[in-house]
A and B are shown apart, each in its own frame.
Chain A
């Protein structure tokens, strides 16, 4: 591990800190406390864990100052591993400040020889400075502010996400980096596909419960990687919510990215005509045109999820499905409240018309396929004869 050396700049401030530090040391009986919070009862037993350097410094009365000495992770782990170290916040909530060193070393950050104080930048001395966070959630949000220093690309994407939007609106429940990526133990690549829903479930358990019961969720939880997990539809860092108009408007493309894949769908015997038949119908045509001309506007025409369900999508053959034959009318009536029993078959159910399924549509189409070339062909022939006749007569005249 590479030691990090931070050189203090303001000597006067340092002197004041020293006074505080000496007092703190006396009060705590030479024990170290985590993050500069009020030392708790547990802190009394910590002195034994001090590294030799720390112990020597304390016993000799020399100031230990991380600003002027090299502070490597060893120094931190002297206190922060093994013991049940907690950090109490003014709100009364406490944070575990114990790190499993083995797991840390196995993590991506551990692999990269990251020093604790690279992220925990507010800590420059012992006892640690009192943090700015008054409650647990603020603490998590504040700690995550440092991630951008190394992960700028991801942070830029996150900046456009619904989570950032909600945080900016003052909703502290919205996720920040460390809610999904455990900074101490996360490995790279972070998680397998099947683990994604478990991460999102931490905050979105009601949605998870729906997803778990869906055709997609059921398959994923039994280890099938073909099906979409949360991030396949919502994105990873630039996660979008349902209120975002481009997200809803372009959602048929998300569905089509799998449901238009012939090889993938062949495995499950699912038609890949679903997207084309949707776009060629009134609803889909409108959505397609909105995508082209008004991508930031909402349309009241349905996208896939409006009929099939969102997180709880199940096959249309399932009697519980919103697009099961017997449930179609109720589904149509959500937007067409006056619709009657015949109304649902105005939608051809993603089938291309053929003589057996939808014969009327098929034969009307066929009728015009014959009528148009016949009539226009006859007209063209007649016009052509007239042109030829006129040219011939003009020549004869001349």
Chain B
């Protein structure tokens, strides 16, 4: 009987920690811009070296996050197309029932907790929230970063609307991480799988009962295709992804450099001769 159950490979863990760093940096450098009057903003912006530096850091972190997205398109695509593991991630009715079941269990209406598979409903909810949130943030971020390009196609109002959505989504994301992620991964019990890559039997029994039962019965939730099929699909997937990645990276490059929104100098608001003695008077001592 194995005592350790692999969960995240090295690539997954690197993705997670890149996400962690860029998300944290984006949240800090973004929220201080949303609430410039706050006392804490004072401390943070001072520490970061001013608002222009803060914005630069926000943009760099955004670029890192976008690169992580391009990479994730690859790892997710590989799992979906080559390994056919999609059913592990897609939400289904079992997840909805598991949520209802969990509530019932906590209220004392059920004797047993829900038996969940490789990813719990809580984990799937978080994953898809991040997909949604990152999409909203990237789209609205692009609009604010490139307002001239945006308003070439859309009404001007989309820019402040994008700003409202970017700020709202940011609060939603940060609160969701604090409430949902921190509770499920750190408070309820400290889940070390993003460090070690695996869960213990005890943790599996606690949170992934259905998967544990399957493994002990010699089965898996989403069986891997035969090695030959994997190899065949791999040969198709890799060049296709390379192409997609090039297009996406080009998109990221455009995102960052599409337009120069404003000139970098200050245009004098008024052109007037400052010293011009009044024509009707002569300068004499009274």
Closest to B284 in A: A96
Q: Is the C-beta of B273 less than 8 angstroms from some C-beta in chain A?
A: yes
- The chain A residue with its CB closest to the CB of B267 is A334
Q: CB-CB < 8 A to B171: which residues of A?
A: 368, 372
- B201 close to A (CB within 8 Å): no
Q: Judge whether A338 and B277 touch: CB under 8 Å.
A: no
Structural contact, A340 and B148, CB atoms closer than 8 A:
yes
Query: Taking A285-B36, A358-B157 as contacts, is the C-beta distance between A96 and B269 under 8 angstroms?
Result: no
Interface size class on chain A is: 35 or more
**Interface locus among A46-54, A224-232, A378-386:** A378-386
- List residues of chain B with CB within 8 A of the CB of A292: 36, 42, 45
Kindly list chain A residues whose C-beta atoms are within 8 Å of the C-beta of B272.
206-207, 210, 311
Q: Which residues of B come within 8 Å of A, CB atoms?
A: 33, 36-37, 42, 45-46, 50-51, 99, 102-103, 105-108, 144, 147-148, 151-152, 154-161, 163-165, 167-169, 171-172, 175-176, 179-180, 183, 188, 259-270, 272-279, 281, 283-286
New contact pairs (18) apart from A241-B274, A310-B270, CB-CB < 8 Å = A139-B285, A203-B278, A282-B163, A288-B36, A300-B265, A338-B259, A342-B156, A343-B151, A345-B155, A346-B151, A360-B157, A364-B168, A367-B168, A379-B176, A382-B102, A383-B183, A385-B106, A388-B106
* CA gap between A307 and B109 in the complex, in Å: 65
Interface membership of A262, Cβ < 8 A: no
- Chain A residue nearest to B151 in the complex (CB): A342
Contact A286 B51 (CB under 8 A): yes
A353 to B163, CA, bound (A): 13
Q: How far is the CB of A84 from chain B (nearest CB, A)?
A: 12
Chain B residues contacting A282 (CB-CB under 8 Å) are: 144, 163
B155 touches A342 (CB 8 A): yes
Whether B281 lies near A202 (C-beta < 8 A) is yes
Binding site for B on A (CB under 8 A): 95-97, 136-137, 139-140, 143, 173, 178, 182, 184-185, 201-208, 210, 241-242, 279, 281-282, 285-286, 288-290, 292-294, 298, 300, 305-306, 309-312, 334-340, 342-348, 353, 358, 360-361, 364-365, 367-369, 371-372, 375-376, 379-380, 382-383, 385-386, 388-390, 392
Give B74 Cβ to nearest chain A Cβ, in Å: 29
Inter-subunit contact A385/B103 (CB<8 Å) = yes
* A307 to B, closest residue via Cβ: B269
A184 and B284 CA atoms in complex are apart in Å by 13
Structural contact, A210 and B165, CB atoms closer than 8 A: no
Contact of B276 among A206, A241, A279 (CB under 8 A): A206
Please report the C-alpha to C-alpha distance between residue A311 and residue B102 in the assembled complex, in whole angstroms.
Answer: 68
Q: With A300-B265, A342-B152, A345-B156 in contact, do A361 and B164 touch (Cβ < 8 Å)?
A: yes
A340-B152, A383-B179 given; A375·B172 CB < 8 A = yes
CB pair A293 B46 closer than 8 Å:
yes
Q: Which residues of B contact A390 (CB under 8 A)?
A: 106, 188
The 8 closest A-B pairs by CB, nearest first: A368-B168, A389-B106, A345-B156, A346-B159, A342-B151, A346-B156, A289-B51, A206-B276
A-B CB contact pairs (8 Å), 22 listed: A140-B283, A143-B285, A173-B275, A202-B278, A202-B283, A203-B277, A205-B279, A286-B51, A292-B42, A294-B51, A305-B269, A309-B269, A312-B270, A334-B267, A338-B259, A353-B164, A358-B160, A360-B161, A364-B164, A372-B168, A375-B172, A376-B179
Residues of A within 8 A of B168 (CB): 364-365, 367-369, 371-372
Please tell me which one of the listed residues B108, B188, B281 contacts residue A392 in the complex, with CB atoms under 8 A apart: B108
Nearest chain B CB to A210 CB, angstrom units: 6
B154 and A335 contact, CB distance less than 8 A: no
Q: A208-B278, A368-B164, A368-B172 are in contact. Are A335 and B267 (CB under 8 A)?
A: yes
